[in-house]
Each structure stands twice: as structure tokens, then as C-alpha cells.
Amino acid sequence: MKFLAFIAAAALSIAPAFAQTGSPAGLWKNIDDETGKPKALIRITENNGVLTGQIEKLFRDANEDQNPKCEKCSDARKDQPILGMTILSNLKKDGDEYSGGEILDPNNGKVYKSKLHLADGGKKLSVRGYIGVPMLGRSQTWVREQ
């Protein structure tokens, strides 16, 4: 009887981890599509079915500014610290993906249309930024940290 109670408790304790993989909400490490190196940790949150993503940590060389500002941004984020900055906004579920939102590239200050979808059982996130149509863009794979 104690064994069954242990199994039930163990199953209930890991259930939230499995449930979380069905949503992009969580902490993600983005991998640069050009260099293959990690660039940042982004926290994606979901509020009323809308996803938003903020930069929590940057992976930068020791000789680089550890808290850079978005000098090339042209909107309200201009000259604001990149750490804590919202770079993903207004993504809504559309079938198996989230779309209709925008993503900011702090390196060039440009805002692109965006869509994303979970891959590899929720362990990875395919993030696409594009101009006009999704075919005219680039993708990154982000890896779930939490």
C-alpha cells in the first residue's frame, strides 16, 4: 500500500513538468543561427493566451559590455538596457504554432513579424522572424532551460 502511495505521489509531482512542455511558457536559451553559440536566456510568459518574452541574461565575452543598451532600436526601447527588455510580443496560439506577434533583434534594432512552435516534445522552440511572409525570414532554435 505504501508503495502505491509513493508511485501516486511521484506521478503527481512530475505531472507539472510534462504539462509545461505543452506551452512555450518558461525559460529558453536562444542559440544564434549564424554562430551556433548561446546568446541569451529569454523568459516567455503567457497572459490571457498571449505570449511575451523578456531577456533575463546575456551570454557575452568578458571584454564586451555586460549590460548593453539597444542603440539601434528606433522605438521606445532606443537606448534602453537589453537586459529585461521585451523582445517577443503579441503571439497567439494558432493551431500548433503561435503567430501574429513580433520579435525584436536587439543587435540591429529591427522588429520583425514572428511565429514559433514547439519541437522535440517541448524541449525546443523554433522561432521565426520575417518580413512580409514567413518564407522571407530566418529561424532560430531555442532550448528549454525550465
pLDDT at 133 (0 to 100): 84
Euclidean distance between CA atoms 44 and 91, whole angstroms: 11
Tell me the pLDDT of the chain (146 aa) as tens digits. Answer: 443 333 334 444 443 443 445 899 999 999 887 888 899 999 999 999 999 999 999 999 999 999 999 999 999 999 999 999 999 999 999 999 999 999 999 999 999 999 999 999 999 999 999 998 888 899 999 999 98
pLDDT of residue 19: 41
Domains of the chain: 24-144 (2.40.128.520)
Judge whether 135 and 117 are in contact, CB under 8 Å: no
pLDDT at res. 34: 81
Is-contact 58 40, C-beta < 8 A? yes
Give the integer Cα–Cα distance in Å for 142 and 129.
Answer: 13
Question: pTM for the complete prediction?
Answer: 0.82
| pLDDT for the residue 125 | 97
Are 129 and 114 within 8 A, CB to CB?
A: yes
